[in-house]
Amino acid sequence: MAAGLEVPLEGGPVELVGVLDVDREGQGIVPRRLPGWTRPQVPDLFMETMVRMPSGVRLRFATDSTSVELDVLVTHLRLVPDPVRPSWFDLRVDGVPAGAESTTVGPAVGIRSLDPGTITFEDGGPTTIRFEGLPPGPKDVEVWLPQGAVVELRALRIDDGSTASPAAVDDRPRWVHYGSSISHAMEASSPTATWPAVAADLAGHHLTSVALAGQCQLDPFLARTIRDLPADVITLKVGINLVNGATMVDRTFAPAVHGFLDTIREGQPDTPIVLVSPIFCPCAEDRPGPTVPGPDGRFRTIPGLEDVRATGLTLTKVRTVLRDVVELRRSLGDANLAYVDGLGLFGPDDAGDLPDDLHPNAAGQRRMGERAATLVFGAGGALDGLEAARG
* Inter-residue contact 240 to 140 (CB < 8 Å): no
* Surface-to-core class of residue 310, CB atoms within 10 Å of its CB (0-12 exposed, 13-18 middle, 19+ buried): exposed
pLDDT on residue 116: 46
pLDDT on residue 2: 60
Annotated domain spans of the chain: 3-165, 174-390
CA distance linking residue 214 with residue 116, whole number of Å: 12
Distances (CA, A) of 287 to 301, 311, 317, 348: 7, 11, 10, 16
Residue ranges of the chain with pLDDT lower than 50? 113-117
Amino acid making up residue 3: A
DSSP count for the chain of H helices, then E strands = 9, 21
* Inter-residue contact 204 to 48 (CB < 8 Å): no
Distances (CA, A) of 226 to 49, 113, 267: 20, 29, 9
The reply to whether CATH 2.60.120.260 applies to domain 3-165 is yes
CA distance linking residue 141 with residue 64, whole number of Å: 10
State CA 193 to chain mean position distance. 11
* Inter-residue contact 166 to 134 (CB < 8 Å): no
Please enumerate in sequence order all residues whose Cβ is within 8 A of that of 82, keeping only pairs 6 or more positions apart, or say none: none
CA distance linking residue 235 with residue 335, whole number of Å: 15
pLDDT on residue 238: 98
CA distance linking residue 80 with residue 113, whole number of Å: 8
Nearest by Cα to 237 from 205, 294, 199: 199
Neighbours of 324 (CB within 10 A): 13
CATH level 2 (architecture), domain 174-390: 3-Layer(aba) Sandwich (3.40)
CA distance linking residue 355 with residue 376, whole number of Å: 26
Mean pLDDT for the chain overall: 93
pTM for the whole structure: 0.95
Residue-level length of the chain: 391
pLDDT on residue 125: 86
Question: 13 by DSSP, 3-state: which?
Answer: coil
